[in-house]
Structure 1
Amino acid sequence: MPNDRPRSRRRLSSYRFGEPGGTVTDTVGQVRRVFLSITFLRWIGPGLIVPVLVLVLTFNGLDLAQVGIVFAVYGATTVLFELPTGGLADSIGRRSVLIMAGILFIALDVLLLVGTTLPVFLLAAFLGGAGRALSSGPLESWYVDRARAIDPSLVLRKDFSTAGVLEGVALLCGALASVGLANLPPGSIAGLSNVLVSALGAAIADGVFVLAVLGTVREPERSRGSIGSAFGEVPAVIRDGVRIAGSRRSIRLLLGTTFGVAVAAVSIETLWQPRYADLLGGPHEAAKIAGLVVAGFALASVVGSALAQHLPGRLADAPGRSAAVALTFSAFGLVAMAASNDPWLLTFSILCVYAFFALSHVLRQELLHEWVPSERRTTIVSVDSLAGQLGNVGASLVLVPIAGATSIATGWLLGAAAAFVASLVVASVRMPTDAERQQIHAGAPADTA
């Protein structure tokens, strides 16, 4: 037994770092550096394009109802590919899936750059949704497998925390770069409008991401299954997730909360840019500050997430009620957004909403993991993600067209209603008792009250 770990280390170090098919790093430090650097590069592109995404669509003549359709296609595609991505990565390799995702992100950026019609943007949404689903998980799985093969006792929490910080920093850097690009003289880069130039920057950033994956992420050869067989596992995954959720009231309530929060979030994500354009005098003026606003969103989310660790006693012991309080304040923030005619007040209100969303997310995730048996944890997390995507699609198809036909303020009031209902739903979710924990791990329907 004492020789197990050295043998594992020699086996890994027999591969040469940088070679395709079977190459891995031979120390945890090398694996960690690859993981963190690829995580950072993954999120620069989104940081560049998110601040101006809706502006790009409306700049090319789409109305809010059509923007909602584009977002709905993106969400529906992500739903379609969300669950099978784990099986696909295990089948053809995590590195291959990351490369596929990066190529789809580049295609999305290019279509946003050159597109002028709804069909082109729908294609962009489909490719981007597929890329988003494919990029969920394979890098983290690669890191855990590689690092744990070298050091089976490695504690992962610190590295995942660092990865989360780098993700936020990358989004912040991308958003600030978007501000700089938007404030260049129009036409100074390839004759592009300052609304579109960020899409070019995102394409370059995503190209760097793909090259970095090609050059640094390596894994041993594995038996290759078919894509069809990976997708064939989806019905069984869904059935298993639905069975567990149906047997536990707390999980059902948490899934319902995720759906409601997603509806509220979509009301912000699809409507804030047109609202700033209204308040500031047009999409070009809005593009100049959109990156700063998104940077503020990222910082507000960091604050909200950090606050979850510093709740006072009663709130810390009752995460369901604390999440309900956070979502109630989010609903108030959405009402303030609807009433605001000042860009500074609007910005402050949105930052508060994002901070409380982030706080509630941490608490809801804690509750979800407490109620899920370890052998079905990934399945239920995927179902939770699916609930959020369904909320995204539903809001994009219903809420956004209503806002387009009435007013942006109406859309935000509907979002506030969704957040408030979600707060009522999650308020009754509590931590399991010791007896219920035993039932959960035994596979029994522990929460029937």
Structure 2
Amino acid sequence: MMRIDYELKDLPLEAQKHSRIFRIHRFIDAASVGFFAVIILLLLQSRGFGLFDIAVLLAVFSGTSLVLELPLGGLADGIGRKPVFMLSIVAFLLSILTLILFESYWLTMLSLVFMGLRMALVSGTLAAWFVEKFNRLAPEFSTQPVLAKNQFAMLMGQAISSVAGGVIADFYGSSFIDYGIGKFELPLVGAFILGIVVFIYTHFLIIEDRHKIDLVLIKSGFSNLGHIIYDSGIYGFKHRFILLMLVGTTCTSLALYTFQTFWVPFVKPMLNDGYAASIIGILTFGYYSSQAFGSMIAAPAIRLFNGDVAKALAGLTFICALCLIGISFTTHIYAFIVMLALYTLFVGSTSSPHKSIFHEHIPDDKRSTLLSLEALMARLGGLVGLLFIGYIADEFSIATAFKAGTIFIFAASFLYYILSRRIRNISNH
């Protein structure tokens, strides 16, 4: 049986080095995106775009990543994770540069197309590379603890850059207007610089031995895309465990994506408008840092359920639903902060158990594509949630929309409980 309760120092030296390199990578990469995420809605509003205009722009962003998710995940299986990830950084830099230099609606849309391309390229690449190499270097150790630490590093990167982005916009945004850089464009400069750092770090420190880059192999990777996608899709939907995980991902994403979209307008009436960007940045810091610390409670939760990872996942997901109900009843900023911290803490705790179960049931040659399939289902759930729960928010209230979202999180919890029973039945036989 693989070891779950261990420290980094217990791993073989090469596995320790591998984990440290990737953890730093996660932090820097997430920090570059955090600058973008915290100000994008405020930036679009500052340019005079209405709510419908913004909805269309975000739909283009989501649609681009949705359409390209599987083909590009399959490409990573065909030609290698590292080259595809580095292409994602190029798309990110193009997106940020376009957003800084141009303000028109159509060029802003082009920028979000590039960002959607980035999201499609990045999923199922280095995450798959990390797991495969870790399994080779430390086959007797479970991936759950290291995945939790990777998630912690990623979320802390997003958290720190989010608060930094809000503070930069509010307190230094007017300093560079003479240079053509507006209040909300300035944090994007930080995102661009960090994007270049990620590119250099990836080039020199992420070593992928499985694939060698050459034109013949690249052409072969593209020509095999259809087969890779079809084969992995059939495998994913016929495999009972993976199918349950995919449906669970869709249900939780339906609620979680909607919460990510509506929590800012939900809390904004409780805030002082003069420092909205800074306060939202600080709340976003809390949002991500609480998720980061949540990843640390996954292991104790698993021990509480006697090592049953799936049952722990079911319990933690159930608590997420209860916390979202609590948020929907808040009307004061302090109550909202407490409930937001609890909600994101338990959302963070579900990630590594989910990933650990998923990785244990997928083969290496389909790993990137199946991870992209999972990301596709997550984004599909998110789009459905934005339409369905977004309609409820518009017609009734955001609080009512949050309550509707909890139904789907409860459903996911039930699916993970069924998954636990199936895993236990197989183990008993």
User: Do both proteins adopt the same fold according to a TM-score greater than 0.5, normalized to the shorter chain?
Assistant: yes
Relative distance call for 1:324 and 1:378 in structure 2 (3 A) is: same
Q: Is 1:298 paired with 2:282?
A: no
Pairing 1:248-259 to 2, within 5 Å after superposition = 248-259=239-250
Q: Which of the numbers 253, 257, 261 marks the counterpart of 2:252?
A: 261
Query: Aligned pairs, how many?
Result: 411
Q: Distance in 2 between matches of 1:29 and 1:76?
A: 38
Q: Is 1:230 paired with 2:221?
A: yes
- 1:256 to partner: Cα distance: 1.2
Larger of the two Rg values belongs to structure: 1
Tell which deviates more after alignment, 66-75 or 265-274.
66-75
Matched to 2:247, the amino acid is G
Q: Which of the numbers 368, 375, 380 marks the counterpart of 1:385?
A: 375
Matched to 1:53, the amino acid is I
Is 2:124–2:368's contact at 8 Å kept on the other side of the alignment?
Answer: no
Match of 2:238 in 1: 247
Q: Is 1:166 paired with 2:153?
A: yes
Match of 2:355 in 1: 365
Pairing 1:35-434 to 2, within 5 Å after superposition = 35-89=22-76, 94-114=81-101, 116-139=103-126, 163-190=150-177, 192-214=181-203, 222-225=213-216, 229-282=220-273, 285-311=275-301, 315-372=305-362, 376-404=366-394, 406-430=396-420, 432=422
Matched to 1:266, the amino acid is Y
Matched to 1:74, the amino acid is F
* Deviations 1:297-330, CA, capped at 9 Å, x for gaps: 2222123222121127663454444333323322
1:347 aligns to what SS in structure 2?
helix
- 1:369 to partner: Cα distance: 4.2
* Deviations 1:144-200, CA, capped at 9 Å, x for gaps: 899999x89898968766544432332233123223303315511335554442222
- 1:261 to partner: Cα distance: 0.8
Q: Distance in 2 between matches of 1:304 and 1:176?
A: 19
Q: Distance in 1 between matches of 2:227 and 2:78?
A: 17
CA RMSD of aligned residues (A): 3.8
1:341 aligns to what SS in structure 2?
coil
Matched to 1:85, the amino acid is L
- 1:242 to partner: Cα distance: 3.9
- Structure 1 residues not aligned, in runs of 5+: 1-26, 440-449
Relative distance call for 1:239 and 1:40 in structure 2 (3 A) is: same
Matched to 2:299, the amino acid is Q
Length-normalised TM-score, structure 1:
0.76
Match of 1:444 in 2: none
Match of 1:24 in 2: none
2:418 aligns to what SS in structure 1?
coil
Length-normalised TM-score, structure 2:
0.79
